[in-house]
Amino acid sequence: MGTAVVVYGAYGHTGRFVVAELRERGFVPVLSGRDEGKLRAVAEPGDDVRPASVDDPAALDRALAGAAAVVNCAGPFATTAAPVIEAALRAGIPYVDVAAEIEANADTFARFADRAREAGAVVVPAMAFYGGLADLLATAAMGDWTAADEAHVAYGLSSWHPTAGTRVAGQVSGRRRDGRRVRFTKGRLEYHGDDLPTLRWSFPEPMGARDVIGEFTMADVVTIPSHLSIPEVRSYMAAEAARDLSAPDTPAPVAADERGRSGQTFVVDVVVRSGGEERRAVARGQDIYAVSAPLAVEAVHRILTGQTRAVGVASAGEIFDAADFLRALSPDVTFELVSPRQNAGAAG
């Protein structure tokens, strides 16, 4: 038997990709979540199905019993993260999630940092396309720098067909912020009502210069500053993708290949600046939801094989060797460090 890993929210869009990735890598996925019918509908013959509601600690304990780790894929994470982390701490197993919600990730650091560290436990939030990937890129770009003045994360998405879960999470976050926007400046999160600017960003070829929405703030404003001394962290979203997300009638992703991935492609371009110097790291791939699976499962593999640099609540860039981790994601993600002389016109 292989190593058992619980996937909470196994029937969700990202959860199904995580289950498939675990199988492919020789793990034994244990399917958990709130809805037993939906779990059984996605289960394969012989799968261990363990329904559990987040408001039922005993059921969560049964769901995690005997497992080596848990990956939480069930949003909104404002509701699910804390109960599943509590269950993982009781079980003495590592916790990984794919949360993109800024406040939910901030809550995880605030609520569990001391307890997880004292317990010698590993809790890795935002181990996904948003939050984890840019944090790995920023950490790799920093290299031997111990601090930087600013980090810029530009998302070049060809399109963005949001899942139902993304829409619900956005609504939850919006209510928590009273409709305000959030940014990370002067070393802290700040809420504001300003309109977001449209800028030009020079992505690496073949994408090239594109209109982006500035201050399109994602979970990177929690993960990057959690361990890197960078007081200004800004993110930008390709204007077309931002329009897709905001439109109420944009359909959910549709499978375009045998693995169930959509045809969406992405470039994540991260620039860190210190004084007059600039460093840059770039990742390319297909389907922002599907790519969260190799990110999360590689994290589980490294935690269980002792390839970690921290305990407690830690983001991807802090707990893993960032450049080595990014290279291990091939062929799902191609990663490159761009030499400084190629950095002209990185931010608009």
> Per residue in 167-199, pLDDT tens?
998 888 888 888 899 999 999 999 999 999 999
Cβ pair 297, 25 in contact under 8 A: yes
Instruction: Report CA dihedral (343, 156, 288, 278) to the nearest 10 degrees.
Output: 20
208 — pLDDT class (breaks 50, 70, 90): very high
- Are 262 and 198 within one domain? yes
Q: Does 80 have pLDDT greater than 60?
A: yes
How many other C-beta atoms are found inside a 10 Å radius of the C-beta of residue 118? 10
Considering 124, 144, 176, which residue would you say is the last residue of a domain?
Answer: 124
340 — pLDDT class (breaks 50, 70, 90): low
Q: Which residues share a beta bridge with 348?
A: none
Instruction: Please report whether residue 138 resides in a domain.
Output: yes
pTM: 0.96
Instruction: Please report whether residue 298 resides in a domain.
Output: no
Q: What is the mean pLDDT of residues 153-166?
A: 94
pLDDT on residue 314: 98
User: Residue 186's Cα: distance from chain center in Å?
Assistant: 24
- Are 73 and 166 within one domain? no
Q: Does 247 have pLDDT greater than 50?
A: yes
pLDDT on residue 339: 72
Cβ pair 78, 176 in contact under 8 A: yes
Q: Which residues share a beta bridge with 183?
A: 190
Q: Does 127 have pLDDT greater than 50?
A: yes
Q: Does 348 have pLDDT greater than 80?
A: no
- Are 11 and 116 within one domain? yes
Angstrom distance (rounded) from CA 99 to CA 8: 12
- Are 177 and 194 within one domain? yes
Whether the link from the prior residue into 162 is cis, omega within 30° of 0, is: no
What contacts 284, CB < 8 A, 6 or more positions away? 265, 266, 267, 268, 333, 334
347 — pLDDT class (breaks 50, 70, 90): very low
**Overall size of the chain counted in residues:** 348
Q: How many domains does the chain have?
A: 2
What contacts 24, CB < 8 A, 6 or more positions away? none
Cβ pair 309, 300 in contact under 8 A: no
pLDDT on residue 343: 45
Instruction: Please report whether residue 329 resides in a domain.
Output: yes
pLDDT on residue 294: 98
- Are 166 and 27 within one domain? no
Average pLDDT, the chain: 95
How many other C-beta atoms are found inside a 10 Å radius of the C-beta of residue 26? 9
147 burial level (CB within 10 Å; 0-12, 13-18, 19+): exposed
Angstrom distance (rounded) from CA 112 to CA 191: 23
Instruction: Please report whether residue 296 resides in a domain.
Output: no
- Are 135 and 153 within one domain? yes
Both tokens of 294, joined, read 């190799």
342 — pLDDT class (breaks 50, 70, 90): very low
SS3 30: strand
Considering 82, 103, 124, which residue would you say is the last residue of a domain?
Answer: 124
Q: Which of 123, 135, 74 is nearest to 99 (CA)?
A: 74
- Are 234 and 337 within one domain? yes
Q: Does 344 have pLDDT greater than 90?
A: no
Considering 65, 100, 124, which residue would you say is the last residue of a domain?
Answer: 124
Q: Does 206 have pLDDT greater than 90?
A: no
Cβ pair 171, 207 in contact under 8 A: no
pLDDT tens by residue, 262-307? 999 999 999 999 999 999 999 999 999 999 999 999 999 999 999 9
For residue 108, what is the domain's CATH number? 3.40.50.720
DSSP 48: E
Both tokens of 151, joined, read 């980090």
- Are 149 and 95 within one domain? no
pLDDT on residue 175: 87
- Are 241 and 92 within one domain? no
- Are 166 and 114 within one domain? no
pLDDT on residue 345: 46
- Are 66 and 34 within one domain? yes
Instruction: Please report whether residue 311 resides in a domain.
Output: no
pLDDT on residue 341: 47
> Which structural domain, as residue segments, surrounds residue 80?
4-124
Helix, strand, coil percentages for the chain (3-state, nearest 5): 35, 25, 40
Q: What is the mean pLDDT of residues 109-114?
A: 98
pLDDT on residue 192: 94
pLDDT on residue 173: 85
Query: β-pairing, 122-124 with 48-51?
Result: unpaired
Instruction: Please report whether residue 66 resides in a domain.
Output: yes
Instruction: Please report whether residue 57 resides in a domain.
Output: yes
Instruction: Please report whether residue 256 resides in a domain.
Output: yes
* Angle formed at CA 241 by CA 237 and CA 247, multiple of 5 degrees: 120
Type of residue numbered 165: G
- Are 99 and 154 within one domain? no
For residue 153, what is the domain's CATH number? 3.30.360
